[in-house]
Amino acid sequence: MEPVGESLTARDILQTLIKARKNVRMYPDNNPMYLKTVDETFARFSRYLGEHEALTLAIKQNTIHHDGEEIYANPEKDDNFALFFFKDGVRELTFRRGLNRDEIEEFLKIIAQEFDREQVDDDVVTLLWERDFENIHYVVDEAFLVDIDEEEYERKAEETLKERLTDPNDLLRAYKDGFQGGEKTDTAVVPLSDGDLQMLVKELEKDAAGKIEKLVVILFELIYLSEKQAEIEEIFQLIREAVHYCARRGDIALIVHILHRAQHVMQEPSLKEGGKDYFTMLRYELGQERVIACLAHVLDVGLEIDTGAFGQFVGFLDKNAIPSLIHVLGELKTVRARKYIIDALIALGKKDIHAIAKGLNDERWYLVRNIIYVLRKIADRRATEHLLRAVRHSDLRVRKEAIKALGDIGSHDVVQTLRECLDDENGEVRIAGARAFGTMGTEVAKKIILEKASNKEFRDREFDEKKAFFEVLSRWKDQAVFEFLLETLRKKALFNRARNEENRACAAYALGLLGRKDAIPVLRSVGDSCGDFLRDFVHVAVRKLEGDQ
């Protein structure tokens, strides 16, 4: 049935997204057509969100729905916009009021990537997570975020759908029916899911929260009145149990309040040294798995967390918390929970790089990749020796993340390993190595990439790989690179002409990225006497250079 009303508008916006995805993929980011595409897409969203709080799209394998109405369908595998999100576990997209042009542009760049090509390092969920959009939200089916064989795909999907939470309205109706008198009737028993139990516990403990806070205040007052060490020790045990109770409830704000009070007490001159030691122990206690595991569970089930309070909580942690955080990171099921724990590890890792690196010994590839990501964000050269070993990991995804991290760190020690990656038997590893050299941006890195791109054997590599190498070269805005690109562009061949044309197209593409307007005459002269394949790249490069201000 044809959609009507708001769903019809949503369908038009969706079609705008699909068209914009193609244009963003085709044109460079300073091309007039690219800029027009982003502006028009942003305008369509702005008009809709000016009248509505949000636009939510429900995503199935071959269809997309808005407000229960189907607004997109494609039974084919190729160019299937629904399947593009579905295969990576995205089940819902929401664009909220306040959406700005930068967010639209970044979102378009993500969906414009061709995730089935070798050179793309991450899936769509990872890139959405890394961007951390304020006004674009997504719901992920976590069963698809682990390494599942394609044959298991359909079975896993069916199992996941069976695990949906009970409708809270059904639960409340069952609750009311239980207390109503009158004639006995047949009542459907509503099973309680984990989510339902969490909701009930939260309601029951609302009243307890205020009492715990008052209890903590009393306990700290008792410390000042205590004259014996045994009394302080007993009070400390009660405060510690209060922290554990708050951790189970996910009340991080109250834990932070307790820690601030403890910190204040430690600075009190009248308090004996033995008493101060207990509060140092309290800070150490936070890093024990008993506390960390409780908080991780709260994060995983989706209860609301005060982000600011969580940041303060991490600030109180000592490096002894690192093993516990790594352990729970390997057990978490949701992207949201993993992000909190990864951020905590990044903050703590600067205190003990080697404790973080121990996570690289785990047998689970996804945990090892997360640990490499943590080391990459810390960007401490002391992690180099650990990352060099990770480059030889058995899992390709881990190897690529390690190579990316080595490029970010960029020390002289990584050059030889990255050079070896350029000759790896796997094309994805070779591309990752080239991009790592581009991130380093040193003169040595430039010479290595130039040398590799000049070799005869390089001509016979796949076009996407050659294009990635030339794109890396364009990061060096110097004369040596400019002359190499011009020479490659002009070069003709009697044999292997198709492969040579690919090299020339890559050179034209890189010249457009380089931003040198004096390349325009050469590009035009080549474009007048070449085949369609090369001509398309030449024209795009000329348009980009002419559009640069």
Question: What residue segments make up the domains of the chain, in order of their start?
Answer: 5-161, 214-351, 461-549
How many angstroms separate the Cα of 189 from the Cα of each of 170, 172, 175? 10, 12, 10
- The packing angle between helices 396-409 and 427-440, to 10°, is 10
Whole-model pTM: value is: 0.65
Q: 266 Cβ partners below 8 Å, 6+ apart?
A: 276, 279, 280
Euclidean distance between CA atoms 309 and 238, whole angstroms: 22
- pLDDT for the residue numbered 362: 94
Would you give per-residue pLDDT tens digits along the chain (549 residues)? 556 568 888 899 999 999 999 888 887 777 788 888 999 999 999 999 988 888 999 999 899 999 888 999 988 887 889 998 888 888 999 999 999 998 999 999 999 886 544 444 567 888 888 787 888 988 887 554 444 444 444 454 445 444 444 444 444 444 444 444 444 444 444 444 555 545 544 554 555 556 777 777 788 777 777 767 777 778 888 888 888 888 888 889 888 988 888 777 767 666 655 556 777 788 888 888 889 999 999 888 888 888 899 999 999 998 999 999 999 999 998 888 999 999 999 999 988 999 999 999 999 999 999 999 999 999 889 999 999 999 999 999 999 999 999 999 988 889 999 999 999 999 999 999 999 999 999 999 999 999 999 988 898 899 999 999 999 999 999 999 999 999 999 988 777 788 889 999 999 999 999 989 999 999 998 877 778 889 889 998 998 898 864
* Amino acid occupying residue 163: E
Which position has the token pair 């010479």?
A: 447
Buried b (16+ CB within 10 A) or exposed e, 130-159: eeebebbebebbbbbbeeeeeeeeeeebee
Longest alpha-carbon distance in the chain: 96
Euclidean distance between CA atoms 159 and 512, whole angstroms: 49
Q: Are 69 and 2 in contact (CB under 8 A)?
A: no
Residue-wise DSSP of 411-432: -GGGHHHHHHHTT-SSHHHHHH
Which position has the token pair 């060099």?
A: 388
Q: Are 62 and 80 in contact (CB under 8 A)?
A: yes
- pLDDT for the residue numbered 138: 87
